[in-house]
Amino acid sequence: MLSKLTLFIGITLMYSTPLAFAALGGVVSERSGVTNIGIEGMMTIGAFVGACVGYFTGSAWGGFFAAAAAGGLIALLHAFASITCRADQTISGIAINLIGPGMALFFCRLLFDDATMTVPVTKKIPKLFGNAHFKGAMKNLNVDMTVVLVLLLAVFLWFFLYKTKWGLHVRAVGEHPAAADTMGINVYKIRYLCVIVSGICAGFGGASMTLAIIPQFTPTAISGQGFIALAAVIFGKWTPHGAYGACLLFGAAQALTVLLGGSALKVPSEILAMLPYVLTIVILILFVGRSSAPKASGQSYEKGQR
């Protein structure tokens, strides 16, 4: 029983990590007033770049941070369109979701003559726990450093947003940008930085999938993870700790899928594949309630506007 429990916890932490990175990025962007539904595309770019750099350099950490840079760059496109050009943020996010997978697939076929790429990195991301540290049932708690990094990131963002003046500026821009502007806060600068940080976090999430979970990039490596991360942002009521907790819940659904797939219950594979997404819809309907996004979220701002 203890062995199954530790296995369940290990799988939950493993699968919740990419979601948590992306969801925390979504929280930062939404808090500044920019809706970022392009997280899926940013995660896909991060997943490809992380795997590609890991393949050519032999360093998983090199791929991990390169993926963050790639996510930040594609987020810059979203920031330019939605902040400078004041385009519809939803349409811009949809475009990113189309551009990201398209670019990843194009370059993957260009570099590898295939849509699938294995990543034989010589130095894996170090495990925090694992078989070398525990014996017996606890050996199933096989967790890598990305799990720790995303937890630290969640704590840092909570402290930043609610305990520092810079976090207050971000929240002010997301609630009432005109009032923040009159106080001397640079609305454009804060929104640009927050959207880029959102892309960096999404890149981390994509890389943690292709480097720490599956050692390859495929067109379905992300497959809806970005949208589940967006659901986690809403379920967590646009807070770092809430989004992180929601990702743990969705990771638990994935862990349940894995365990049921290897059990004697003979659950159809189609039902198992649907389980995380069905749970996402059910949770949003039953438990989120009347949560309110930042008041200026999704709204373009023009300097001098009142």
Tokens 């920031």 belong to residue: 79
C-alpha distance from residue 61 to each of 22, 68, 95, 125, 196 (Å): 18, 11, 29, 6, 20
pLDDT band at 70, cuts 50/70/90?
A: very high
16-20, 125-129, 210-214, 235-239: range with lowest mean pLDDT: 125-129
State the average pLDDT over residues 123-145: 61
Predicted pLDDT at 274: 79
pTM of the model: 0.90
Q: List, for residues 174-220, the tens digit of each pLDDT value.
A: 999 999 998 889 999 999 999 999 999 999 999 999 988 888 888 88
pLDDT band at 283, cuts 50/70/90?
A: confident
Measured at the alpha carbon of residue 206, what is the angle toward residues 170 and 110, in degrees to the nearest 5? 125
SS3 state of residue 22: helix
The yes or no reply on domain 2-286 and CATH 1.50.10 is no
Q: List, for residues 10-35, the tens digit of each pLDDT value.
A: 889 999 999 999 999 999 999 999 99
| CA–CA dist 52, 119 (Å, integer) | 7
Q: Name the phi and psi angles at 233, rounded to 5.
A: -60, -45
Strand 117-118 vs strand 216-217: parallel, antiparallel, or unpaired?
Answer: antiparallel
Predicted pLDDT at 162: 95
Q: What percent of the chain has pLDDT over 90?
A: 51
The closest alpha carbon to 158, from 146, 147, 171, belongs to: 171
If residue 55 lies in a helix (H) or strand (E), which one and from where to where?
A: helix 39-57
The more confident residue out of 25 and 118 is: 25
Per-residue HEC secondary structure of 102-114 comes to: HHHHHHHHHHHCC
Q: Could you tell me the two tokens for 57?
A: 């350099």
Q: Could you tell me the two tokens for 250?
A: 């969705």
**CB neighbours of residue 59 within 10 Å:** 18
Burial of 245 (0-12, 13-18, 19+ CB in 10 A): middle
Measured at the alpha carbon of residue 133, what is the angle toward residues 127 and 134, in degrees to the nearest 5? 120
Task: Inform me whether the pLDDT recorded for 260 exceeds 90.
Answer: no
pLDDT band at 132, cuts 50/70/90?
A: very low
Predicted pLDDT at 133: 46
The closest alpha carbon to 9, from 252, 302, 266, 304, belongs to: 252
| CA–CA dist 297, 28 (Å, integer) | 11
3-7, 21-25, 160-164, 190-194: range with lowest mean pLDDT: 3-7
Task: Inform me whether the pLDDT recorded for 131 exceeds 60.
Answer: no
